[in-house]
Structure 1
Amino acid sequence: MIKKLSVSLSIAAMLAGMLGCSQNFLDVVPTDRVSDPSILSDSVLFESYVINRYMGTRLTDKEAEGTLPGFGRGFEYAMWSSVTDESIYNNDDNTWLIQRGQIAPENTGIAGTFWGRSYRSIREINYALANLDKVPMSAGHRSRLKGELKFLRAFRYHDLIRNYGKVVLLGDKVYELSDNLTDPALFQRSDIKSGIDYAVAQLDEAASLLPATTDNGNWKLGRATRGAALALKSRLLLYGASPLYNASTWQAAAAAAKAVMDLNQYKLYSGGYGALFTVTNSEEVIFSRIYAIGARHVCLEIANGPNGYNAWGGNVPLQNLVDDYEMIDGTSITETGTSFNPNDPYKNRDPRFYATVLYNGAAYRNSTVQTYTPGGKDSKDGPSNWNTSKSGYYLKKFMNDNLPIDNPWDVAGTQTWIYFRYAEILLNYAEAQNEASGPDATVYAAVNSIRKRAGMPDLPAGLTQTQMRDRIRHERRIELAFEEHRFYDVRRWKIAPQTESVPAYGIEVGKNGNTYTYTRKEALTGRTFADKQYWLPIPRAEIQASNNQLEQNPGY
Structure 2
Amino acid sequence: MKPRYILLSALLSTGLFSCSKFLDRPPLDEYSDATYWTTEQDAVKFASRIYEFMPSADFFICYEGMSDNALSKTASWGNTLRNAQLIGNSTFVATTGSLGDEWRYDQIRHCLEFLANVDKVPDMNPALKKRLLAEVKVCLAYRYYMMTTLFGDVPLVTKVFSTPAESDVPQDKKAVVVAQVIQWLNEAAPDLPATYSGDDKGRFTAGAATALKARVLLYNGDYAGAAQAAQEVISSGTYSLYPDYYNLFQQEGDYSAESIMDYIHIKEIQPNGLRDITGVNSVSGGTLYLNPLPSLVDDYESAAGYYPYTNDPAYDVHTPWKGRDPRLAATIYYPGSTLANGKMYDPLNNSLDKIGGDKATYTGYAYKKMFDKTELEVRDNGGNDWHILRYAEVLLTFAEAKNEVAGPDASVVAAIDQVRRRAGMPTVAATFALNGWALDQATMRTFIRHERRIELAGEGHRYFDILRWKEGKNLLNGPVYTLDASAGLTDIPATGGSTNKFTKTKLEDRYFNNDKFYVWPIPQSILDGSRKLQQQSAWK
> Shorter-chain TM-score: what band?
0.7 to 0.9
Where structure 2 has 5 or more consecutive residues not aligned to the other structure, the ranges are 1-10, 433-437
Within 5 Å, which residues of 2 pair with 1:280-319?
Answer: 280-294=254-268, 298-309=272-283, 310-319=285-294
C-alpha distance in 1 between matches for 2:325 and 2:312: 17
C-alpha distance in 2 between matches for 1:415 and 1:258: 29
Q: How many residues align?
A: 504
**Secondary structure of the structure 2 residue equivalent to 1:400:** coil
Change (3 A) 1:546 1:302: closer
C-alpha distance in 1 between matches for 2:378 and 2:174: 47
| Deviation (angstroms), 1:190 | 2.2
- From 181, 184, 187, the equivalent of 1:205 is 187
C-alpha distance in 2 between matches for 1:421 and 1:553: 36
**Residue 469 of structure 2 aligns with which residue?**
493
CA RMSD of aligned residues (A): 2.6
| Deviation (angstroms), 1:344 | 1.5
**Residue 146 of structure 1 aligns with which residue?**
133
Where structure 1 has 5 or more consecutive residues not aligned to the other structure, the ranges are 57-69, 242-248
Percentage of pairs with the same residue: 31
C-alpha distance in 2 between matches for 1:154 and 1:10: 20
- From 426, 434, 438, the equivalent of 1:457 is 426
Within 5 Å, which residues of 2 pair with 1:94-493?
Answer: 94=82, 95-108=84-97, 111-115=99-103, 117=104, 119-136=105-122, 137-171=124-158, 173-180=159-166, 186-216=168-198, 221-241=201-221, 249-270=222-243, 272-278=244-250, 279=252, 280-294=254-268, 298-309=272-283, 310-333=285-308, 336=311, 339-364=314-339, 365-373=341-349, 378-379=353-354, 385-404=357-376, 406-408=377-379, 412-460=381-429, 462-493=438-469
**Residue 518 of structure 2 aligns with which residue?**
534
Change (3 A) 1:303 1:549: closer
| Deviation (angstroms), 1:11 | 6.7
**Residue 37 of structure 1 aligns with which residue?**
34
Change (3 A) 1:11 1:338: farther
Change (3 A) 1:166 1:142: same
**Secondary structure of the structure 1 residue equivalent to 2:358:** helix
Within 5 Å, which residues of 2 pair with 1:10-89?
Answer: 10=20, 12-14=22-24, 26-27=27-28, 29=29, 33-56=30-53, 70-75=54-59, 79-89=62-72
Compute the TM-score of the two structures, normalised by the length of structure 1.
0.84
- In the alignment, residue 411 of structure 2 is paired with which amino acid? T
Change (3 A) 1:239 1:4: same
Are 2:371 and 2:382, in contact at CA under 8 Å, matched by a contact in 1? no
- In the alignment, residue 523 of structure 2 is paired with which amino acid? P
**Secondary structure of the structure 2 residue equivalent to 1:12:** coil
Change (3 A) 1:550 1:525: closer
**Residue 244 of structure 1 aligns with which residue?**
none
Are 1:84 and 1:99, in contact at CA under 8 Å, matched by a contact in 2? yes
Change (3 A) 1:327 1:402: same
C-alpha distance in 2 between matches for 1:391 and 1:527: 19
| Deviation (angstroms), 1:338 | 5.0
Are 1:330 and 1:457, in contact at CA under 8 Å, matched by a contact in 2? yes
**Secondary structure of the structure 2 residue equivalent to 1:176:** coil
| Deviation (angstroms), 1:407 | 3.5
C-alpha distance in 2 between matches for 1:257 and 1:296: 31
Are 2:231 and 2:398, in contact at CA under 8 Å, matched by a contact in 1? yes
C-alpha distance in 1 between matches for 2:313 and 2:467: 30
**Secondary structure of the structure 2 residue equivalent to 1:355:** helix
- In the alignment, residue 343 of structure 2 is paired with which amino acid? S
| Deviation (angstroms), 1:98 | 1.5
